[in-house]
Amino acid sequence: MNLLQATRDVQAKVHALLSGTGHLERDEAAALAGRLREVIEAHNYRYYVLDAPLITDAEYDVLLQALRRLEARFPGLQTPDSPTQRVGGAPLDRFEKVRHPVPMLSLQNAFDFDELRAWYERCRRGLKAALGVEAPPAVTAELKIDGVAVALTYEAGRLVVGATRGNGVEGENVTENVRTIRAIPLRIPVAGGTTADVPARLEVRGEIYIRKSDFEKLNARLAAAGEKTFANPRNAAAGSLRQLDPRVTATRPLSFFAYAVGPVEGTVPPAQYELLAWLRGLGFPTNPHAARFTDLDALLAFCERWAHARDALDYEIDGIVVKVDDFAYQEALGAISNAPRWAVAYKFPAREATTRLLDIVVNVGRTGVIKPEAVLEPVLIGGVTVSQATLHNEEYVLSRDIRIGDVVVVKRAGDVIPQVVRPVVEARTGSERPWRMPERCPACGNPLERLPDEADYYCVASDCPAQFIRLVEHYAGRDAMDIEGLGAKLAVLLVEQGLLHTLADLYTLTLAQLLALEGFAEKRARNLLAAIEASKHRPLSRLVFGLGIRHVGKTVAELLVAHFASLDALAGADVETLEAIEGIGEKIARSVVDWFRVEDNRVLVTRLREVGVNTRRLPGEAPPAPGESPVAGKTFVLTGTLPSLSRKEAEERIKRAGGKVAGSVSKKTDYVVAGESPGSKYDRARALGVEIIDEARLLALLGDADGPPAR
C-alpha cells in the first residue's frame, strides 16, 4: 500500500475517533497508534528529507493530535520514540557530560586554492606511500553548514543519546532537546526510506542549524515578547539546543543535516558519497548539494561557485568540507593529534568585521523612502574596504540599540550592500550617542511621513531632487533600460545642471549640452547619446521596471507585461484585475494603480512614447500559449556546469520560452539539465526516472522560441 492510501485509511479511522463515533478496544488502539506513528514519520521523511510533502500541514497536525489522544486514552501506549514526544519533557537542572567513544575531531583549514591543492597533493603522496595508489583519489565536497555539531546514537534503530561535540572528546547530553527536532528521526529506518538492515548500534553525526528565514521569524517573535534576540542563526541554534527546558527548544525552528557516522556495529557503505545516500534512505536529511569529484580543477570550480552563490541558500555556510571519498583510503591516511589527514575545510573569505560607527546619515531613495546609513571607520571585509553600511530603517537601529560612536559588527554578504549587524555593547565608554530619524527630508526639507503598516519613512514631495536623481540612476540601470555610461555621478550632474526634469528629458539631450559639462569629450558624449538612443528599443518589461513604481521589481514587471500588451493597457487596469494575476498581491496592485493615477506620471508615459521609447510588448516577452513551444509549461532543474550557458542565462531562456525552473527534483520535474560535475540532483533524477538531458538537447527544445540571452 502506498503512503497516500495508507494516510487516507488512517485518516478515516482518525475521523471516527475524533468525532466520537468510533469505539476502540485496547488492541485496536495499539494497532492504530503504531500505524499512526509509521505514517507520521513517513510524512516527516518526505517533508524533511525528500522535500516533497504529500499532505498539508493541517492534515499532518490532525494525525499528530489523534495520536496524542490515543496515547492519553490508553496509558502505556506511549513510546519514547513516538512523534508526540517532540514537545519536550520536564526541565533539567544541568546537562550531563557524554564522552564520545570516537573523538569528534576538528578539521584543518585551507584559506585559498593553493592550500587546498597542497592538501590534495599530501593525500596523494600519503596514499602512494601507504597503499601504492597511483591514481588521484576521488573526493566528496559538501557545504560547510554554520551550525552546531552533534552525535546521535541509535540502538536497534531507536535514538538513545544526542550529544554536542563539546571539545571533541567530551560533549553534553542534549537528548531530550534533540528529540524535539522533527528533522531528526526518533526511530530508523523511517517508513518510505530504505529496506536495508539497520546496524545494531549506529552513531550519526551532523549539524543542527536554523534557516535564515526561520531565524528572522524567531527574532521577531522574541522581540515582540520583550525577550532578548539572537545575533545570528548559529548563535540561535546553539542557544536553542542548550536550553535546560526542552519545552523551550521545542518552540525553536531547529533543522538538521547528517554528514557522517561515528562508531558502527554493522555494515555501512564503503565511501562518503555513497554513505550520504544511505543516510538519506534511513530517514536522515542530508545536504542536497554534495558532489563527488575525480578532477581537482572541477573541485576548485565547485568551491568558487558556492563562494559566490551561498547567499541564495536559506541557511548559512562558511566553506566547503572536502573528504577523500574512499573509507579505506581515509583509514590509511589516518589523523594527526586533533584532525584527520583525509579531510580539509576550504574556508570562504571572512564577511564580518568590527569597526567604529562614526555617524548615521539618511539617504533618499527613488521612491522617496528614507534609509539610515552608517558611516564607518574603513575596514577590510572579504578583500573589500568598507566605509559605509546600511541600517535598514529606524526600527532596526532602535531595536538593536545601535548608537553613534559604537564599535559595531559589520557583515558583507556577497555583492549585497554591507550591513551593521549589532553593537559590541561591552566596548562602550559612555560617550556613544543614541540616534533618531530626522523629522524632515534632508534633500528638500519637507516633513517625512511613515506610511501605515510600513517600517519606513518617506518624503512624499513630488519635487524632491534626491528622489529624482535616484530614479534616473535606476532607470539607466542594467536590469532596466541599460544605458551604458549613465551612472550615479552622471545622474547627479545632469539633474543638478538642470538638464533633466523628467525621465523623458534624457531623450532630448544634445551633443552641445553634454560637451558643456565638465569631463565630457566628444567621444564620451556621442557614446552616451548612442546608448540613450538604443534604450528606446528595450523590452516593455525593462521600461515598467525602470519607471520606479513602488514594489515593482524585475520579476513583477515581467509578470505584468505577460498580461498587458502595452503601457496604456497596464495604465487602464484596476486593482481587482491586477490582483487576479498569480504573484500580484493587493499591495503591488494598489501601488501600480496609484502610480498611474498621478497626472505627472501619465504625462511622462505620453512623452516617452512621443520621443520614441517602446511602450508595447515585444515578441517573446509573453510566455507562449500551451502547445506553442515544447518547453511551455515544463519544469526544469539545472545541475552541474553547462558548456556555454551560465546558470542565469539558461534559467532566463527557459522562462522566456514558457518553462519553469525549480531548485529541487521531484516527480513533477519534466527535465533535469545536467552539465559537468552534476550534484545529487542528478542521482535523484535517476532514482525517480526523470528524463536527464544535456545542454545541446535543451537548446534543441528551445529551438527558435528564444533569441540570445538578455544581458
Q: Which residues are catalytic?
A: 144
What span, in angstroms and rounded, lies between the C-alpha atoms of 333 and 329?
6
Residues in the chain: 711
To which residue does cell 534503530 refer? 157
What span, in angstroms and rounded, lies between the C-alpha atoms of 155 and 227?
39
Look up residue 10 and give its three cell numbers.
488512517
Are the CB atoms for 171 and 98 separated by under 8 Å? yes
Rounded to an integer, what is the distance from CA 283 to the centroid of its chain? 23
First to last CA, the chain: 51
Q: Please state, as a whole number, how many other Cβ atoms lie within 10 Å of the Cβ of residue 632.
A: 16
Q: Please state, as a whole number, how many other Cβ atoms lie within 10 Å of the Cβ of residue 184.
A: 25
Report helix, strand or coil for 311.
Answer: helix
What span, in angstroms and rounded, lies between the C-alpha atoms of 233 and 250?
16
β-partners of residue 402 are: none
Task: Answer whether the bond into residue 349 is a cis peptide, omega within 30°.
Answer: no
Look up residue 241 and give its three cell numbers.
539546543
| Residues in CB range of 551: below 8 A, 6 or more apart | 587, 588, 591
Task: From 446, 438, 530, select the one nearest 483 (Cα to Cα).
Answer: 530
Report helix, strand or coil for 570.
Answer: helix
Are the CB atoms for 113 and 164 separated by under 8 Å? no
Report helix, strand or coil for 369.
Answer: strand
Q: Please state, as a whole number, how many other Cβ atoms lie within 10 Å of the Cβ of residue 597.
A: 10
Using CA of residue 23, residue 27, residue 29, residue 31, what is the dihedral sign?
negative
β-partners of residue 152 are: 162, 204
Are the CB atoms for 458 and 449 separated by under 8 Å? yes
Rg for the chain, CA atoms, rounded: 29
β-partners of residue 125 are: none
Report helix, strand or coil for 262.
Answer: strand
Amino acid at 317: I
Are the CB atoms for 70 and 16 separated by under 8 Å? no
What span, in angstroms and rounded, lies between the C-alpha atoms of 660 and 632?
8
- For β-strands 108-110 and 343-347, DSSP reports them as parallel
Report helix, strand or coil for 567.
Answer: helix
Cβ burial 396-426 (10 Å sphere, 16+ → b, else e): bbeebebbbbbbbbbbbeeeeebbbbbbeee
Look up residue 184 and give its three cell numbers.
531528526
What span, in angstroms and rounded, lies between the C-alpha atoms of 544 and 566?
10
What span, in angstroms and rounded, lies between the C-alpha atoms of 621 and 317?
36
Are the CB atoms for 158 and 80 separated by under 8 Å? yes
